[in-house]
Amino acid sequence: TASQPNQRWQQLYESLELKSYKNWKSPSVQSIKEDFADFKRKEEKWENRARIILLQTPLFTDFDDFREKVLNGEIREIDRAFAGKIHGMAAVSSVAALKSLVKTYSKPRDVDRIVNGIKNEEKLPMPIIVKGKDGMWVLSGNTRCNASFALGFKPKVIIIDLSKEESGEADV
Q: Dump pLDDT digits (tens) for 82-119.
A: 999 999 888 788 999 999 999 988 887 899 999 999 99
**pTM score, two decimals?**
0.84
DSSP 62: S
Does 67 have pLDDT greater than 90?
yes
- Please list the helix, strand and coil fractions of the chain in percent, rounded to the nearest 5, in that order: 45, 20, 40
What is the rounded distance in angstroms from the CA atom of residue 153 to the CA atom of residue 44?
Answer: 33
Contacts of 116 (CB under 8 A, 6+ apart): 122
For 144-164, the pLDDT digits (tens) are: 999 999 999 999 999 999 998
Contacts of 112 (CB under 8 A, 6+ apart): none
DSSP-derived pairing of the beta strands 153-154 and 156-161: unpaired
End-to-end CA gap in the chain = 49
